[in-house]
Amino acid sequence: MNHNQRNSRAGDARTRKHGRANEPGHGGLQGRGRTQRAGAAGSTRAQKPRVDRVRLAAYDILRDVDDRDAYANLLLPSVIKKHRFNVRDAGFLTELVAGTLRLRGRYNAIIALAAERNWQQIDARTLRVLQLAAHQIFATRVAHHAAIYESVELQRLVANKKAAGFVNGVLRTLTRTPLEGWLERIRKQEISEDAKLAQIHSHPEWVVRALREAQQLNLRAGDIDTARLLEANNETPRVNLALLPRSGVSREELIVLADSLSYTDAEEAGGREAEKAAEAAGGGQTENAAGAVTGKTPSEAADAAEGVLAESEYSPCGLELRGGNPARLIEGLELPPGTLRVQDQGSQLAALALARAGESGSAEKWLDLCAGPGGKTALLAAEAEATGAKLWANEAQQHRAKLVTEAVCGYQDIVTVTNADGRDDAAYSGQMFERIMVDAPCTGLGALRRRPEARWRKQSAELPQLVKLQEQLLDKAVTKLKPGGYLAYVTCSPHPAETRGVLKRTLKRHSDMVELDTLEVLNRVTGKPLTQTGKTLSVQLWPDKHGTDAMFISLLQKVVPEDENTGRKQKNHQPENEIRLKSEPRAARETKTVVD
């Protein structure tokens, strides 16, 4: 339990004792965009604070993330629906929640300097109010006076009223110095360089160290920029989509179709026309009644002018959504279910690397061992169908196995979904496989930009158990791989212990497994050659260099045994020039262009 959780639970218990409800809208009086929560029964001695509903909803989500281990991305849609927020207010709420969660480490450091006390000594409820206010002051165009006033009112409603003056004083101190001035003060502190990076870029210090070590392992010295990588984790990622063959349309046709939607369709499908209402009043930005500036920035407006969708930079089946709600867009396009789905480019490339390594023989058997929630499984199913293969998909958690079944709803004829521990025989359905995907459970450090609260929940102490599980899954999978077959080891983490460390020990235990040149395989798949992916045969993607999650992808192959009669290796379906083994350093290979 962290500091926010300890202090908040104690504080909320005191609040409940005095009769103040803490759930959104409980005991509240709503009107003109404001909420008034009830005080103690029958109390009329003082006027109750009236707080902007969007900020109050943001506070409640942050509290639930801290106290109940809730996920912001799951809470936001239900809260928006419950309060019937319009497009502008929904956008402001999303920015407040996601931005504050990502940058709360930076804001804690700045608040501590402004308050002249350790942020851990501040009541967790008050600290949340200050974090939300700091985000408005430093990361939005909300007027400073509006941010201060609304935050003081919020403090009076949800926390200790007597601390309202403290909140007011701290926030006024924040507004006297621009953000860069506060960051410069952090740089001048007598703390380690890692600690400075952690505070400035809002990451736990152990994560900073892990990412820097991953860069040192995978990149040349001149390509290493840890600060830029950390900042990329703080940027809202573009939504990427995967278009599967059963959609019946090409990427080019879909881009045209998305742009040709009628006004009504666009509003329902992508939300773009609703956003234009915000853009129309004020050159791309609109201020709502609570002082929040919402709408599109100039760069977002430029993206919208270019079109709803664009082809992804690397994945041959990928598309990039330039704005709007992806779920509504997918619904509005009316494609066959599951054939257009949200999926990061890195995940698409991981699935395609396995599917397109070597030559696919007819009637092959493929396995996605850790399949939940099913995104890679769906893409593997599409690739398997194209080659005449059958796919098995296993997931250890029952509720995630159901998600896999939903994800492959269009491929029931070639996909079998199972629910078993990947270390047990039951996960393999009595089969031997030509291709196995081991997308192992990991720390998820490669997807921090998508899950704003994740960085604060992960602990380095979890790493040894995860590494043990990863190696156990690989060991079992190797025994179920046919000679000449391919295995893809994938993690959504660049942590050296989970990537090259696991791989090194696995190869040492299994002398019949060899590592292949994953980059060469992917360069046959991608729209343009990948660069800066690593100094080894595996591929490490980066959000700051490739615009993807930090996916680690390594292709292995089981050696074909020698024929007992001839002493020669049995025929392998892999062409000699398809995959190059450890014959030359990556530095030399990266200068070559692979041509089919």
Active site residues: 492
Q: Is the dihedral of CA 212, 214, 219, 220 positive or negative?
A: positive
Q: Return d(Cα 76, Cα 57) in angstroms, integer.
A: 9
Q: Is 511 exposed, middle or buried (0-12, 13-18, 19+ CB in 10 A)?
A: exposed
484 closest CA partner among 380, 357, 383, 594: 357
CB 365 within 8 A of CB 414: no
H, E, C per residue of 207-243: HHHHHHHHHHHHCCHHHCCHHHHHHHHCCCCCEEEEE
Q: Is 529 exposed, middle or buried (0-12, 13-18, 19+ CB in 10 A)?
A: middle
* Percent of the chain that is helix, strand, coil (3-state, to 5): 50, 15, 35
Q: Is the dihedral of CA 255, 258, 259, 260 positive or negative?
A: positive
Amino acid in the structure at residue 99: G
Q: Are strands 365-368 and 340-342 parallel, antiparallel or unpaired?
A: unpaired
Q: Return d(Cα 504, Cα 477) in angstroms, integer.
A: 16
Reduced to 3 states (helix: H, G, I; strand: E, B; else coil), residue 312 is coil
Q: Return d(Cα 495, Cα 447) in angstroms, integer.
A: 12
Amino acid in the structure at residue 122: I
Q: Is 188 exposed, middle or buried (0-12, 13-18, 19+ CB in 10 A)?
A: exposed
Q: Return d(Cα 203, Cα 196) in angstroms, integer.
A: 10
